[in-house]
Amino acid sequence: METGNYLDTLEKLFHYYKSLAEKAIQQIDDHQLHQKLHPDDNSIAIILQHLIGNMRSRFTDFFTSDGEKPWRDRESEFMDPALGKRQLLQEWESAWNTVFKAIDQAREKPLDAIVYIRNEGHTVLEAFQRQLAHYAYHTGQVVFLAKSLAGNHWKSLSIPKGQSEAFNSGKFSKDKSKSFFTDKM
């Protein structure tokens, strides 16, 4: 696989999961952002705080330092942040910028170069795939929680129930084409 093509696809997928989480968060208020379904659960705010810490740690100096930075306090990421939605989303945006900067830097490096996470070597490809899976996992949690908290006010982020046939009919009524599934979102 060509490096540029893989990194383009990777970048689109990271943008996709970022967007899914943001669209879910738009459907809840500040109080719901911090609400838990069970006392031992994580709120959406906690999940975002964890992702922010992870992104900053993994992708700051991605090629030159271990992805688990000595300044990261992972345990504190699982305490409810005293931030409102606007502030938390500003931190979220900043952390994502770190991810996308690392992807841009990777365009000048071989995908089989070794980077470290907790002193374990990963190829650049493996490290990116590891984080993509991690972020997709937590994005699913955010969407599930937001949907549960929004209740009847929830607007589907994919094909709404009962509309699969109409959606597919629209897709199959067009000529075949080459595109990425997120291009029209």
- At 47-96, the pLDDT tens digits run 999 999 999 999 999 999 999 999 999 999 999 998 999 999 999 999 99
- At 137-160, the pLDDT tens digits run 999 999 999 999 999 999 999 988
CATH number at residue 65: 1.20.120.450
Residue 18 is assigned to a structural domain of this protein: yes
| Among the ranges given (3-12, 64-73, 114-123), the one the predictor scored with the smallest mean pLDDT | 3-12
Residue 116 is assigned to a structural domain of this protein: yes
CB 103 within 8 A of CB 8: no
How many C-beta atoms surround the C-beta of residue 181 within 10 A? 9
Q: What is the mean pLDDT of the chain?
A: 94
Residue 151 is assigned to a structural domain of this protein: yes
- At 167-183, the pLDDT tens digits run 888 888 988 888 888 87
Residue 150 is assigned to a structural domain of this protein: yes
CB 117 within 8 A of CB 66: yes
Residue 64 is assigned to a structural domain of this protein: yes
Domains held by the chain: number: 1
Phi/psi for 40 (5° steps) reads: -90, -5
pLDDT score of 2: 58
Residue 108 is assigned to a structural domain of this protein: yes
Q: Which residues constitute the domain of residue 133?
A: 3-158
Residue 69 is assigned to a structural domain of this protein: yes
- CA distance between the termini of the chain: 25
Residue 98 is assigned to a structural domain of this protein: yes
Q: What angle do CA 159, 165, 171 make, to 5 degrees?
A: 75
